[in-house]
Structure 1
Amino acid sequence: MRFSSIKHAVMCAALALAGAAQAGVVVTDSQYGDSDGIVIARYLDVTRHGTLSGVSISVDFSKCDDPQIGPDGTQCIGQGTPYANEIGMWLTGPDGTTVRLVPVGYYDVNSGGRVTVNFQDAAPVLDTTMQSGTYSLPLDSFSEFAGLDMFGTWTLTLQDTDFGDPLEYFGARLVLSGDGNDGGDPPPAGVPEPGSVAIIGLGLAGLAAVRRKRGRAR
């Protein structure tokens, strides 16, 4: 194998490991539901242990004037103005710690149709207009989860405080980052796969062999 080919293989494996180190534990839900004057909940099960250092969640939802747009809808059908201030959302960790994503009464304008909001710290504060984007929480912070074990059931709760103009839920994506591993569970994301470690080991051995061969040739 040529020296450049070995070097390229080692670099590719190293990049793969770097990507794995930056990845988090990802749990998704796509069970459609609607909240019309009621509270609904979705459960996201994390099967890995690890000390939390970061949390973010994306929620795909809509708030339209009747009728509902349904699981595959994208734009509001009704022509009236829906009351976005009826929306409430919060996230609860396995230990019961809760942060408010959207406090009831916070939204004051509905931009219409289906939106996806990515909630994470270190982003602009959630806009009072209901629209897609990446925002931080207006009143709480995900730092409240820092240091906790990520293992267990996370609960996303959605509320619509009045009847008519239902809040429709399409899905969510929870991303957790952390370190550590307890209880014999699979290692958290970021721990190198054995195959990747082997690739780097072989690559380094190949580099050493090429260098020795070059030294003898001089």
Structure 2
Amino acid sequence: MKTKNFMPIAALIGSLMASQSALAGAILTAYAGSADFGGISAGYLNGSVAPNPNSETNLVGVAIGGDSFTTRNLDYAFSSTGQFNAWCVDIYHWMIGGSVTYNVATGSDLASVLDGLRPGALSGATRVDQLTRLANNVYSGVDTRLESAAFQLAIWKIAYGTPDNGIYQIDTTDRGFRVNQGTMDSDFGKLANTWLLDLDTAPFSGTGSWTLSYLNDGTSNRTQDIIVFTDPPAGVPEPASFALVGLGLGVLGFVRRKRA
């Protein structure tokens, strides 16, 4: 949902999309257009969805796809190159251009927000787990406009939609999140449905071990909240692994000194 206009639906939504308590820090970013895959901007595809910033029930045309951001803050794993792709997880605000300071929060914080926006048997924690599962299944292969739009559409469906017998489907009837017929029948709508159908099956080949970061602009709510997926580079130990390696080397050194 990319536009420079901002139109909140209700104060309740604003309070729910506000910053959470367990924040890891903040990052100043600049919106840089559509998702960038290897220096190539993918662009967006057009569709119609509801809810949206203009209406809780009426379909509104939106641009669908991932977003690119630049930053001088290289402290986070996802921002280490000065550029990162992100995905809108907020259907109640428009994305604005220019610079925005985001709070960097966790999947647990996002789960709390989704619990408020979509209360019911399906918890926010379950939805966040499913978002990560989607990334583990397909994200390593997302690098075209079609795939970018399909991935964004699937994220919205998981975050806000109502599963039927445990299965999410892009359709025209779900009041939690629905699309028009053209969006459902589009190539990216069909691809999103394929991914959603396979959400609980064994991961595809070539997947990663993705972690989710939740970025929001706090109580100002000037722009959409977004999520970022980070995949640890192959062969790079996690911090806990570094600690174990250090402990092992320390014990080895002690044994050598004792033998000497």
Normalised TM-score (structure 2): 0.25
Structure whose residues are more often helix by fraction: 2
Structure having the higher strand fraction is 1
Higher relative contact order (CA 8 A, sep 6+): 1
Length-normalised TM-score, structure 1? 0.28
Instruction: Select the structure of larger CA radius of gyration.
Output: 1
